[in-house]
Amino acid sequence: MSDEVSKALHARAQQRIPGGVNSPVRAFRAVGGEPVYIARGEGPYVWGADGTRYIDYVGSWGPMILGHAHPGVVKAITDAAAFGTSYGAPTEREVLFAEAICEALPSIEMVRLCSSGTEACMSALRLARGFTGRNRVVKFEGCYHGHADFLLVKAGSGAATFGVPDSAGVPADTARNTLTARYNDLASVEALFAAHGDDIAAVIVEPVVGNMGCVPPREGFLEGLAALCQKHGALFVVDEVMTGFRLGLTGAQGRYGIRPDLTTMGKVVGGGLPLAAFGGRRDVMMKLAPLGPVYQAGTLSGNPVATAAGLATLAELRRPEIYEALERTGAALEAGLVEAAARADVKVAVQRVGAMWTVFFGVDAVTDWESASKADTKAFARWHGAMLKRGVYLPPSQWEAAFHSVTHDEAVVEATLAAAREAFVDVARG
């Protein structure tokens, strides 16, 4: 499945890096085989260490909305780096970046920069607790908000249960304050508020889930969450690390007409560099140090090279034709994949919102973690391998969304669908 150069590199990596990778899903264990080591990227393509070219639908797990090595972003990075890569002091570019975020997202009156989506979500929820004086947060089974201890939690036997750690090393006492509900199920959230409403600081949600595959919200679900939070005095926190600036210039909150109290962002906002942010209501954000009692800090927060990449990316995304092109590409991929699977008599559900999508095998539709967990992961693994063999690089997990960029043009889409037609036949043959 992977080239000989990658195999040799992976053997070396496993001697010094746990599992040979610096983020678990990269290990390809969900699909078998060994990972492809990437040497470079340009536009819609990445090249393996042996020089093989692949059409890329990982896109660095979402950030590369403009394609790899976009000339404007690369120039912004190199120009900024020529003046130094980090100062640990305020810069004009941080101000420009904060202004750009607030201008794009009306729900954000103030913003704090950090370096990763994990940091953004962890900090936003600490802020929510500090602002409300409450201890508990509600998350949804199958939604991922980074690897902070209290967020590595899954549901127990029912939706209205106390959290159970989903990772070794997470103390039970830490997880106990995280309550887990069922995505797309308002009743499960209402039950939690009925039992613990006076101690729930916040509800955090991926507005379109990307961490159990692409799962859109049911009509009224996000609006219902906002109303429940308002009724019970909790903060509504929308995790737009994945969806922010990918589903439109105003993110998922603009697409679905919601106004969160706090928003977390990452991936696209950094233009491919480590940069993230969280922001929201002014009265809430003013509880952050140095103005308030909620502490949050970071040596590389607002890094001058990262903010240069982010600003260059956001400038490109202000062009309306960008999202029109992404939607056309997504629609063509969706229709073509549905047709190819049907032609091969392979049961799939192709789910897409804008420029993120997933092909689920063996199910009619996915609306929550329970239905996602019924997908045929073995069939997906066969399809993944068959696509990789034909030069298409997909996320190596049934439960990770795929992403396309503005550089995925009609020729790239047709090449992808040609590979998919053959790959579905391989799956049908077992």
- At 161 the pLDDT is 33
Residue 144 appears among annotated catalytic residues: yes
For the question of residue 139 being annotated catalytic, the response is no
pLDDT on residue 159: 32
What average pLDDT does the segment 317-323 reach?
Answer: 94
Alpha carbons within 13 A on the beta-carbon side of 350: 17
CB 217 within 8 A of CB 184: yes
pLDDT score, position 155: 34
- Is 239 one of the annotated active-site residues of the chain? yes
The fold adopted by the segment(s) 71-317 is Aspartate Aminotransferase; domain 2 (3.40.640)
What is the percent of the chain with per-residue pLDDT over 90, rounded to a whole number? 90
Catalytic residue among 7, 45, 57, 267: 267
153 forms beta bridges with: 165
Cα separation, 287 vs 108, whole angstroms: 15
Judged against a pLDDT cut of 50, whether residue 163 lies above it is answered with no
Q: Residue 158 has what pLDDT?
A: 32
Distance CA 92, CA 102 (A): 16
pLDDT digits (tens, 9 = 90+) for 7-56: 999 999 999 999 999 998 999 999 998 999 999 999 999 999 999 999 99
Considering 56, 239, 261, 376, which one is annotated as catalytic? 239
The catalytic residue among 45, 54, 57, 144 is 144
Nearest to 183 by CA among 145, 148, 162, 212: 212
Residue 330: pLDDT band with limits 50, 70, 90: very high
Task: Specify the CATH number of the domain 4-69+320-429.
Answer: 3.90.1150.10
pLDDT at 160: 31
pLDDT tier for residue 104 given thresholds of 50, 70 and 90:
very high
Domain definitions of the chain by residue range:
4-69+320-429, 71-317
> Has residue 2 got a pLDDT over 80?
no
What's the pLDDT tens digit per position in 188-221?
999 999 999 999 999 999 999 999 999 999 999 9
